[in-house]
Amino acid sequence: MSLFKDIIVPELNLTYNQPLGLFINNEFVKSSDDATIETSNPSTGEPIAKFYAASHKDIDNAVKAARLAYQETWSKTTPADRGILLSKLYDLINEHKDVIAAIDSIDSGKPYHTNALGDLEQILELTRYFSGASDKYVKGQYIPVNNDKYALVVREPFGVVAQIVPWNYPAAMASWKIQGCLAAGNCIVIKPAENTSLSLLYMAQLFKKAGFPPGVLNVVPGYGNIAGSALAEHMDIDKIAFTGSTAVGKKIMSMAALSNLKNVTLECGGKSPAVVFKDSNLDEAVKWISMGIFYNSGQNCTANSRILVENSVYDVFIKKFVKYVAENWNISPNIFDKNCQVGPVVSKVQYDRVIGYVNEGKKTLNYKCLNNPETVNECSKRGYFIPPTIFLDVPSTSKLFQEEIFGPVGVITKFSNYDEAVSLANDTSYGLAAAVFSENVRVINQFAKDVRAGTVWCNSSNEEEVSCPFGGYKMSGIGRELGESGMDAYMETKCIHMNISNL
């Protein structure tokens, strides 16, 4: 099999050259055992390409390349040097952004105009952020212990970092991890999700073109139980960062602990609440909450999939919500249609999983599909499309209230007072994010304090900022990304004791 393939995207009149090999030491190479993975377009079910899948031997080769690069070149660069390279990378991503967005559209089913292009704008924003941050966030501390001694606290890169990223934001989630990690001075071995590896393979060549030395970034697609496990267990990896399900996050943490006790950052699942108090601006609440649950076909770890509404405005909220979604969140069989807001879920496996929850809910709960049945039927014949769906009056004991569905499915529940709202909001094993809607500044502030979540949006939802830390409480993970945390997570703390006594 060739290491490259021309791929045509007829809807954009685009033909581009897709890398298919593992990217190790700045070169695309075949897997050692010739193993491959085939990826398909979830909006049509049609195959796109086969690419090489990393074996244990390939992972070891990539780690060796990263270790050598760190020791011989990358550890000797200055923060300013790294910032300059990231700035060059920004220009290259900007030049290729339409192609990268198109790749993520055909590979993951993202609507091109209303979703995939937005991902690229965030990637550009965070690349610019870390290019400027690289020589500003490497901080130290002087501690005057006594007259005969002082201490210096310095921050140093880990060295070789493994990263595993999910399929819901293929290029964006990789960039969340890569850019800050490089700015901090580490070398990387990164595994994209096996069903959405194409965009990161394409982007890999941009790092080389920007001037990053061989071995600094290595991209190793592969199966989780092979390539992912090899990274988590590898004895020469200093840290691993993972984004994905809580179940897999537990396995990553266990393997990291049982190998060389490598440092771990986890960004895992969520079941985020959106709480609507009676004094809120309901039109604004409807707009933000619908985006928070239906954007990216609900495949967001921060999706506000538990919608909690105060009794006295419940019926009005439901009426407004149903009308707004029907008018603004269009499902379309053509993900390149400028009016397409909701695309397919990523795969047959994910489709069956989400439909399983929907069918379970239909047995006992009040169900509403919020799109035209004829359009839904047309889409379902073509790919893995699931329309925006809600369940009403869902009890907190329901499986749909407690478990992460990861699709365009929301559950709506009533509450009678503030205390009940907080209790319902916190009634989850997760704690990634929460949203609250009220015109009462005291209520907003009190809720932000009382809810157990790493991110709280007040009168908005799901608007990440690259300058702000992101991560979760409880079983939503360990550590933070983005902002200063996007570099800090990839640096060790060293204390140097200086004795200046003459005695």
Task: Assign 334 to helix, strand or coil.
Answer: coil
- The pair of three-digit structure tokens given for residue 211, joined into one six-digit string: 């001037």
- CA–CA gap between residue 280 and residue 393 (Å, rounded): 20
pLDDT (tens, 9 = 90+) of the chain, 503 residues, equals 899 999 999 999 999 999 999 999 999 999 999 999 999 999 999 999 999 999 999 999 999 999 999 999 999 999 999 999 999 999 999 999 999 999 999 999 999 999 999 999 999 999 999 999 999 988 889 999 999 999 999 999 999 999 999 999 999 999 999 999 999 999 999 999 999 999 999 999 999 999 999 999 999 999 999 999 999 999 999 999 999 999 999 999 999 999 999 999 999 999 999 999 999 999 999 999 999 999 999 999 999 999 999 999 999 999 999 999 999 998 888 999 999 999 999 999 999 999 999 999 999 999 878 777 777 777 778 899 999 999 999 999 999 999 999 999 999 999 999 999 999 999 999 999 999 999 999 999 999 999 999 999 999 999 999 999 999 999 999 999 999 999 999 999 999 999 998 86
Is there a common fold for 4-268+478-493 and 273-465?
Answer: no
Task: Report residue 107 as tokens.
Answer: 């590979």
Nearest to 435 by CA among 405, 462, 403: 462
Three-state secondary structure call for residue 415: strand
CATH superfamily, domain 273-465, is Aldehyde Dehydrogenase; Chain A, domain 2 (3.40.309.10)
Q: Which residues lie below 8 Å from residue 398, measured CB to CB, with a gap of 6+? A: 361, 365, 411
The continuous run of DSSP H or E covering 154 comes out as: strand 149-157
Distance (Å, whole) CA 457 – CA 433: 8
3-state secondary structure of 243: strand
Number of H helices, E strands in the chain: 15, 24
* CA 25 vs CA 3, 18, 189, 247, 420: distances in Å: 15, 18, 10, 32, 55
Angstrom distance (rounded) from CA 161 to CA 180: 12
Instruction: Tell me the C-alpha distance between 303 and 319, whole Å.
Output: 21
The answer to whether 387 and 370 are in contact (CB under 8 A) is: yes
Beta-strand ranges (E) seen in 326-485 are 366-369, 389-392, 409-415, 430-431, 433-437, 455-458, 473-474, 477-478
**CA–CA separation, 237 and 218 (whole Å):** 13
CA dihedral 61, 67, 73, 74 (to 10 degrees): 110
Q: Confirm if 466 and 122 have CB atoms less than 8 A apart.
A: yes
Distance CA 322, CA 24 (A): 50
Query: Could you give the CA distance from residue 274 to residue 290 in angstroms, rounded to a whole number?
Result: 10
**DSSP one-letter code for 346:** S
3-state secondary structure of 52: strand
List the catalytic residue out of 267, 310, 404, 481. Answer: 267
SS3 136: coil
**How far apart are the C-alpha atoms of 239 and 257, rounded to whole Å?**
11
C-alpha torsion sign, points 334, 336, 338, 343: positive
Q: What sections of 259-338 are H helices per DSSP?
A: 282-294, 314-328
β-partners of residue 217 are 188
> 458 and 149 in contact (C-beta within 8 Å)?
no
Residues in the chain: 503
Domain ranges of the chain: 4-268+478-493, 273-465
User: Can you name the CATH fold of 4-268+478-493?
Assistant: Aldehyde Dehydrogenase; Chain A, domain 1 (3.40.605)
Distance CA 16, CA 7 (A): 6
Active site residue 327: no
Give kind and range of the element (H or E) at residue 59.
helix 56-72
Contact in structure between 408 and 294 (CB atoms under 8 Å): yes
Bridge partners of 146, per DSSP, are 149
